[in-house]
Structure 1
Amino acid sequence: MSISPHVQGSKEFDPLAFLSKAAAGRTIQRYRKNQKIFSQGDVADAVFFIRSGKVKITVLSEHGKEAVIGFLTERQFFGEGCLDGSKLRGATSHAMEECVITSITRTAMLAALAKEPKFSTFFLTYLLARNSRIEDDLIDQLFNSSERRLARLLLLLANFGKEGGPMPIPVTLSQETLAETIGTTRSRVSFFMNKFRKKGFINYNGKIEVRRSLLDAVLRDKPQIREDE
């Protein structure tokens, strides 16, 4: 099998440029809001890279109960389980808004990782960051109140910690989805959202605008973001 010129060893190799161009083994597709990308149980034969937009990952139990297990945003991979021998998808992915996503076949992904050290480093950096995020999520679930978990989720969705200031979350997340993600009830989420709004931490009119003050409250562990007993 021939390897695309973009996968040949080169000091000029740019991982983002590689992931932004369609070629043998790579396709670029636009997804509309709520469109399914792949379903739990589908054949796992490709890795996906989000060029723009946000993606929701869910799992369905054998009893038919759905759970949200994560939200992904631009410059993140998903579906990489196929590289480790997974034959079927263990979860379902949906576009939360209009997305542009690069799909890379398992064969093309393995070739790029083998031939391009810069791409391997780029991918490894992502995996390490994701692993750290999973550990933080576990600690969050084990030790933090549901109010603090909601605050952290809103900050993550609003991309705080990245370049730029406060920005609206460009999607409308239902309170049911927020509740499922942090492991509490819709009524508690509604209570906390109203509390955050009254405190001036967020604006909440159709879409959520997260303000810097919410981040300050979380970092300083202020009492107002702790769950009332």
Structure 2
Amino acid sequence: MTTQIKQDSLGSTEVLQGFSLFSALPEDILQHVWQGTDKVRYSRGDTIVTEEQQCQHLHLVASGVVKIYKLSEDGREQIIHVMKSGGFFGEDIVFGGERYEATAEALCKTLLYNIKRTALEALVLEYPPFALALLASFGRRLKRLMMLIGEAALLDVRKRLCRVLLELAEEERDGHADRSVIRIRQTELAARVGTARETLSRMLGKLERDGLITRKGWGIVLLNIPSLHREVPHWREDLQLFPLGPSQSRQ
């Protein structure tokens, strides 16, 4: 269920300063942006925006998790990004984007701050450092899309799966260098890898037989992260290009 909350109950501009994109903005500019901001709550499974829907907002993830994905002609889902607290999406509206290029869905209870297109465009014109930060973010997203396209064409399912498992382990950051616990449904994992669930299940079985992982009812335990790294040796370089988000940056 989606719940829209009146702007006057939002709070203060400190909320915006919690996002790296806005952290350096002066108070008077933040106040102006705040006037064009709405607060919306979503329940698990709610669709936030759909592909080809008219794009009118920059969406800031205050809490929860949002998956950004596209559907193939045969209905298969390909996850492009998973946004957590501190992440944002929809910034292409200031670069000529009229419609969303993908669908966004809440994976759990999620709170978004939606900044209206007019407020964002005014900010870009009035404050060039913000425009540069937005452009840098947009460039990283484009590079990530290029990486995903290259993986689909050049990497087999095993290597793509290893890369996604490492990325998920980095998101969890449970403090263990060699082992990590990942809680994820196989349908979602298949969508992130870009393969069918049946193919994913077979490949997970191979990794399990090789001693790299073990499967539990609630997820996957990575038993040998160094060996997973050897499967995709350039993975850490890719992670530097495509950081997981402000709230997930490494210490």
TM value normalised by structure 1: 0.71
1:205 aligns with 2:217: yes
Answer yes or no: is the 8 Å Cα contact 1:15–1:122 preserved in 2.
no
Give the structure 2 partner of residue 67 of structure 1. Answer: 77
Match of 1:165 among 158, 175, 180: 175
| Alignment RMSD | 3.5
Shift of 1:149: 0.4
The residue identity in structure 2 corresponding to 1:220 is R
Cα deviation digits, residues 38-94 of structure 1 (max 9, x gap)? 123432111112233332223346x67253241222333322332233333343210
Question: Structure 2: which 5+ runs fail to align?
Answer: 1-12, 14-19, 233-251
**Which of 220, 224, 228 is 2:230 aligned to?**
220
Evaluate the alpha carbon distance shift between residue 134 and residue 90 of structure 1 in structure 2; reply closer, same or farther with a 3 A threshold: closer
Give secondary structure in 2 for the equivalent of 1:108.
helix
Of 66-75 and 20-29, the range deviating more from structure 2: 20-29
- The question of whether the paired residues in 1 share the 8 Å contact of 2:42 and 2:111 is answered with yes
SS of 1:42's partner is coil
1:104 counterpart letter in structure 2: I
TM-score by length of 2: 0.65
| Kept in 2: contact 1:48–1:77 (CA 8 A) | yes
Question: Does structure 2 conserve the Cα–Cα contact (< 8 Å) formed by 1:26 and 1:104?
Answer: yes
The residue number in structure 2 matching 1:141 is 152
Q: Is this contact kept in 2: 1:54–1:71, CA < 8 A? A: no
- What runs of 5+ residues in structure 1 fail to find an aligned partner? 1-5, 7-12, 223-229
Percent identity reads: 25
Residue 113 and residue 142 in structure 1: after superposition, are their counterparts in 2 closer, same or farther (change >3 A)? same
Is this contact kept in 2: 1:28–1:100, CA < 8 A? yes
The answer to whether the Cα contact below 8 Å between 2:181 and 2:220 also exists between their aligned partners in 1 is yes
Cα contact 2:39–2:114 (8 A) shared by 1: yes
Instruction: Spell out, residue by residue over 1:97-129, the C-alpha distance to the aligned partner (whole angstroms, 9 max, x if none).
Output: 232322111111112222334433432332232
| Structure 2: distance between partners of 1:97 and 1:159 | 20
One-letter identity of the residue aligned with 2:22: P
Distance 1:208 1:221, change over 3 A: closer
1:171-210 deviations in Å (ceiling 9; x for gaps): x33x334334434332221122234445243553323455
Instruction: Write the distance in 1 (CA, Å) between the matches of 2:203 and 2:140.
Output: 29
Relative to structure 1, is the Cα distance of residues 66 and 24 closer, same or farther in structure 2, using a 3 angstrom cutoff?
farther
Tell me what 1:188 maps to: 199
1:50 maps to 2:61:
yes
Count of residues paired in the alignment: 205
Measure, in 1, the Cα distance between the counterparts of 2:181 and 2:130: 32
Cα distance in 2 for residues equivalent to 1:85 and 1:186 = 36
Output the CA distance in 1 between the equivalents of 2:175 and 2:144.
21
In the other structure, the counterpart of 1:15 is 22
CA distance in 2 between counterparts of 1:97 and 1:119 reads 30
Residue 36 and residue 14 in structure 1: after superposition, are their counterparts in 2 closer, same or farther (change >3 A)? closer
Counterpart Cα distance in 1 of 2:128 and 2:95: 19
Aligned-partner Cα distance in 1 for 2:89–2:191: 21
